[in-house]
Amino acid sequence: MSLFRFLKSSSNRVTINPSGVSFSVKPGQSILEAGLAAGYAMPHSCTVGTCGTCKCKLQQGRIRELSNFAYILNGQELKDGVILTCQAALKSDVTLSVPDFEIKKLTPPEDFDGQIVAIEDLTHDTKRVRIKLDRPIHFDAGQYVQIHHEAIYGARSYSFAMAPKDAGCREIDLFIRHVPGGEFTGMLFDGKLDQGTVKVHGPAGNFWLREGLGPIVCVAGGSGLAPIVSLLEQAAKSSQGRPCVMFFGARTREDLYCLDRINEIEKSWDSPFKFIPVLSNEPEDSDWTGMRGFVNSAIESAASQYLSGETQVYVCGPPPMIDAVSETVGALGVTANNIHADKFLDASHGLSRHN
Ligand SMILES: Cc1cc2nc3c(=O)[nH]c(=O)nc-3n(C[C@H](O)[C@H](O)[C@H](O)COP(=O)(O)OP(=O)(O)OC[C@H]3O[C@@H](n4cnc5c(N)ncnc54)[C@H](O)[C@@H]3O)c2cc1C
Ligand code: FES
């Protein structure tokens, strides 16, 4: 190989400040992909350039945009050298500033062959889907996988709806909500995926329980219950010594599900545990005596005594709910680095499907 071709095809390196972590990035690979493959917990969510979670500042070096950053970043951010690691390949060695980078080793994602072996109704618009993999997958509670189906372009992300096992999981459970007009969930709800085969890529995501001593507040909206249940079932196995308040926001009583598993978590939690379902659209004349309205208002009235700089908040579900909850708990004293969110974005939020 000529020296020119060698230089062109060889990897470049990323160094992340202030942690000093460094890893190589292959030609054409995104910085995020390379960081995750090296097992680093790079901040990310959608992986396809639509959520902005992977924003960071380029301090030194040159990158190539895999898709136009201007869809997500504003003019000032672009001027300040902010980039999206999921949409940036390297043209040289680079140095990035990622202040909320946590040095935690995660299981690098891999590709698996999967077969759908069970589908069960949880509510009128949410199903539990069990997929059998060709080998066990290891993951952190709260993470997600990407599902590819041959009939559909691109991947769809779904959180593990279960706690991990030490030996890995050969079968994984997902909670999948029907999205009107959606291709994959349309096929699922039309019964076209029964016993179907899929490709599974994962694990992915930065949603896991952080160490700490303060209270834990979890907020789930709709199918956002999956990673919250995963995270709390895992945490309940060991002594936490931390009070926990769990909110579940749904439209009506018919939209609440998984209550038996939440009850089990409550029973095995070693400190005070409060479960608060909140309904936004329950008919006025029903006999529901629980909380009503939006979940962020409920937090204000039912959990403000648990909210302080020490509290960790885990919130998962539709983006507007996450924004409202983050604003509410931030105003009540929770620091930004203690608010952990997984936005369930779909194609209507972004512009294109890149993967
Ligand atoms: C990290 C993460 C974790 C997630 N976890 C879960 C989970 O555990 N459970 C769950 O139910 N969901 C989860 N989601 C959401 C899920 O991945 C999918 O977005 C959802 O299932 C939609 O798939 P679909 O193929 O049915 O819809 P799609 O075909 O992708 O369409 C979604 C919506 O976008 C519209 N749309 C399609 N293309 C365009 C376009 N070009 N422009 C504008 N609008 C368009 C469609 O009409 C539809 O309303 C998660 C998302 C993320 C990012
Ligand atoms: S992870 Fe990069 S924009 Fe969502």
Residues near ligand 2 (Cβ within 6 A): 44-47, 49-54, 84, 86
pLDDT, position 9:
56
- Domain end position, chosen among 105, 140, 171: 105
Whether 115 maps to a domain, the answer reads yes
For residue 67, the domain's CATH number is 3.10.20.30
Q: Please measure the distance between the N-terminal and C-terminal CA atoms of the chain and give it in whole angstroms.
A: 31
182: containing domain:
110-204
Asked if 255 and 277 touch (Cβ cutoff 8 Å), the reply is: no
Q: Which residue among 54, 101, 343, 354 has the greatest number of ligand 2 atoms within 8 angstroms of its CB, and so is best to mutate?
A: 54
- Domain end position, chosen among 105, 120, 139: 105
* 295 in the same domain as 253: yes
For residue 140, the domain's CATH number is 2.40.30.10
* 304 in the same domain as 226: yes
- Mean pLDDT (the chain) is 90
Distance between Cα 151 and ligand 2 center (Å): 25
* 89 in the same domain as 154: no
pLDDT, position 98:
86
Whether 273 maps to a domain, the answer reads yes
Q: Which residue among 30, 33, 44, 101 has the greatest number of ligand 2 atoms within 8 angstroms of its CB, and so is best to mutate?
A: 44
Low-confidence winner among 6-15, 98-107, 320-329, 342-351 (lowest mean pLDDT) = 342-351
* 98 in the same domain as 21: yes
Distance between Cα 327 and ligand 2 center (Å): 21
For residue 325, the domain's CATH number is 3.40.50.80
Which of 280 and 206 is assigned the larger pLDDT? 280
With cut-offs at 50, 70 and 90, classify the pLDDT of residue 277.
very high
Q: Is the CB of 346 under 6 A from ligand 1?
A: yes
- Residue 56's closest CA among 101, 21, 91? 101
* 101 in the same domain as 114: no
**CA angle (275 as vertex; 208, 172 as ends), nearest 5:** 45
Q: Residue 68: is its pLDDT beyond 70?
A: yes
Q: Residue 7: is its pLDDT beyond 50?
A: no
Whether 172 maps to a domain, the answer reads yes
Asked if 129 and 207 touch (Cβ cutoff 8 Å), the reply is: no
* 273 in the same domain as 255: yes
* 223 in the same domain as 333: yes
* 327 in the same domain as 294: yes
- Domain end position, chosen among 60, 76, 105: 105
* 333 in the same domain as 283: yes
With cut-offs at 50, 70 and 90, classify the pLDDT of residue 40.
confident
Whether 355 maps to a domain, the answer reads no
Q: Residue 8: is its pLDDT beyond 70?
A: no
Whether 209 maps to a domain, the answer reads no
User: How many residues in total does the chain contain?
Assistant: 355
- Residue 78's closest CA among 63, 100, 91? 63
Ligand 1 atom closest to 187 (CA):
26
Q: 306, exposed or middle or buried, with CB in 10 Å at 0-12, 13-18, 19+?
A: buried
Whether 354 maps to a domain, the answer reads no
* 323 in the same domain as 222: yes
DSSP sequence for 40-109: EE---SSSSSSS-TTEEEEEES-EEESS-GGGTS-HHHHHTTEEEGGGEEESS-EEEE-TT-EEEE-PPP
pLDDT digits (tens, 9 = 90+) for 197-255: 999 999 988 899 998 889 999 999 988 999 999 999 999 998 778 999 999 999 999 99
pTM of the model: 0.86
With cut-offs at 50, 70 and 90, classify the pLDDT of residue 352.
very low
Ligand 1 atom 31, closest CA: 182
The number of angstroms, rounded, from the C-alpha of 232 to the middle of its chain's C-alpha atoms is: 15
Ligand 1 atom closest to 353 (CA):
41
- Specify the number of domains making up the chain: 3
* 330 in the same domain as 235: yes
Ligand 2 atom closest to 50 (CA):
3
pLDDT, position 205:
87
For residue 239, give the 3-state DSSP assignment: coil
Distance between Cα 337 and ligand 1 center (Å): 27
pLDDT, position 211:
86
* 275 in the same domain as 162: no
